[in-house]
Amino acid sequence: MIDPISRIGQTYRNISRYREILSVLARHGFGDLITNLRLERYLDFSKKYFKWPQQVAHKELSRSERICLALEDLGPTFIKLGQVMSNRPDLLPEEFIVALERLQDRAPVFSSDEAIKTVERELKDSLVNLFHEFETEPVASASISQVHRAVLHSGERVAVKIQRPGLNNAIKTDVEIMYHLASLMERYLPGLEALEPMKIVEEFDNSIGKELDFTIEAYQMERFREVWKSDPRFCVPRIYSSHSSQRVLVTEWIDGIKVTHLQKLKESNIDASQIAKYGAQIILKQIFEHGFFHGDPHPGNILIRPGPVICFLDFGVVGSLSQSQKEYFISIITALVEKDSEKVARALSRISLSPVDSLPNLEKQVSEILEQYSYLPLKNLNMGELLHKFLKLITENDLRILPGFYLLLKALITIEGVGRKLDPDFDLIVHMTPFVRHMVRQRLSPKRLL
């Protein structure tokens, strides 16, 4: 954990980066924030070192869209912060959540020389001893890492995920600055008590530290492989531990078709509706039976092999649920399907970390939402749309829900969206019902009641 404030402004490195951050904020129209936080007073530099831009870039865009552009300009740490905050509808207005969900995690490639140096330093051996072949041109690049294709001496084709050189120090500096900005927000911006900026940065500090350690992702992948080893419908890339470290992750190379490339699936005689069914069952089993699930099942993280076999990639974001959290969620889903506004309101109040101001008022708002679906048969009920409306309801009532709950809802919304692209008649509730019934039977078993 970084000491939040003590080292701010003590090194030239931080001062130089601070100027860069302020320049980006000013360029995107957030000069008012710089003034309100009295940043010139906390940073000992005069105006000759800091030139205000002559005009605001993309002035025609909304404030939320300009925030996304500023985060992209500020680089990996701030991009990751935006992505984390996109999972917190309890803290940000809906327009900001929608904008942050479109945040692009992209970055220019770093040189093959730097990539090779990182691999050899991390694995303590020469590249020729480690790999039979190593493609110097990366196949993918993001803010945290880039991926190269390679072949081991044993003949297996692999993907080599390599962390950006110097990333740890850059993120450390940025997080130190974030702590300082958060402390100024709490001091000078009234009305942010509920947002708790310092706590947000602290949680982000912990989460990005885990993301920078590839051994954690490797552990998550091994965990999924072990649990799903007997199910031929689902595959997780194999980890090559002898070739992996904190900053290098070598996994099995997966050849497959992107899940939303419908024409390619058709040409390969793969039934898209069957993939939708399998994909839903896999995610629901992860949630309701195992209690840990892939937290980001968007199309870019899903490849399809003949069979069909569904392959999930990138296990950097994994959600977990305790037994009680699963049961709370079951209560909400059951009440929604039954269109029982009283049960939904009670269930929401039980999972909220903050007290509900008025349970009757919450019940009334729930009832108004459910009335919109009262005459629809279950097969026509769009669960993703309904969950989105309840996320908005939660934020409007200042309910504080555990962050993992939002990750769960986002995973379900995402997988329903993918399912409907594959099969227009896809019905998430049909696939969810057996899991819900099983959980209810478990909860009412004599052993559990005793």
Instruction: Write the pLDDT tens digit of every residue in 59-96.
Output: 788 899 999 999 999 988 999 899 888 877 767 777 88
pLDDT digits (tens, 9 = 90+) for 192-239: 766 788 988 998 998 899 889 999 999 999 999 999 999 999 999 999
Spatial distance between the Cα atoms of 64 and 98, rounded to a whole number of angstroms:
9
**CA 188: distance to chain centroid?**
30
Confidence of residue 111 (pLDDT cuts 50, 70, 90): very high
**Separation of alpha carbons 380 and 425, rounded Å:** 9
pLDDT-derived band at 376 (thresholds 50, 70, 90) equals: low
Q: Torsion over CA of 140, 310, 80 and 217, rounded to 10 degrees?
A: -90
Q: How far apart are CA 403 and CA 353, in angstroms?
A: 11
Helices (H), 229-358: 262-267, 272-285, 323-338, 341-351
User: In the predicted model, what is the mean pLDDT of residues 103-111?
Assistant: 79
Residue 395's pLDDT band, with cuts at 50, 70 and 90, is confident
The span from the CA of 350 to the CA of 328, in Å, is: 8
Q: What is the mean pLDDT of the chain?
A: 85
> Which residues are designated catalytic?
296
Mean pLDDT of 283-287: 92
Quote the tokens at residue 118: 């990182």
Closest listed residue to residue 390, CA positions, set 377, 402, 399: 399
According to DSSP, the residues that pair with 170 across neighbouring strands are none
Q: Quick check: 90 and 401 in contact, CB under 8 A?
A: yes
Residue-level pLDDT at 54: 57
Inter-residue contact 90 to 395 (CB < 8 Å): yes
Helix (H) or strand (E) holding 226: helix 214-228
> Cβ(172)–Cβ(217) under 8 Å?
no
Across residues 18-34, what is the average pLDDT? Answer: 88
Does residue 429 have a pLDDT over 90?
no
Which tokens go with 155?
A: 């003949």
Beta strands 309-312 and 234-235 are parallel
Q: What is the value of pTM for the model shown?
A: 0.82
CA 181, CA 199: separation in Å to the nearest integer?
12
CA distances to 60, 170, 349, 366, 401 from 346, rounded to whole Å, are 43, 45, 5, 11, 14
Q: How far is CA 377 from CA 371, 390, 436, in A?
A: 13, 19, 18
Rounded distance, CA 181 to CA 50, Å? 18
Q: Which two tokens mark 270? A: 């793969």
Q: Which of 112-116, 349-353, 438-442: highest mean pLDDT?
A: 112-116
Q: Name residue 250's beta-bridge partners.
A: 160
Contact 78, 29 (CB under 8 A): no
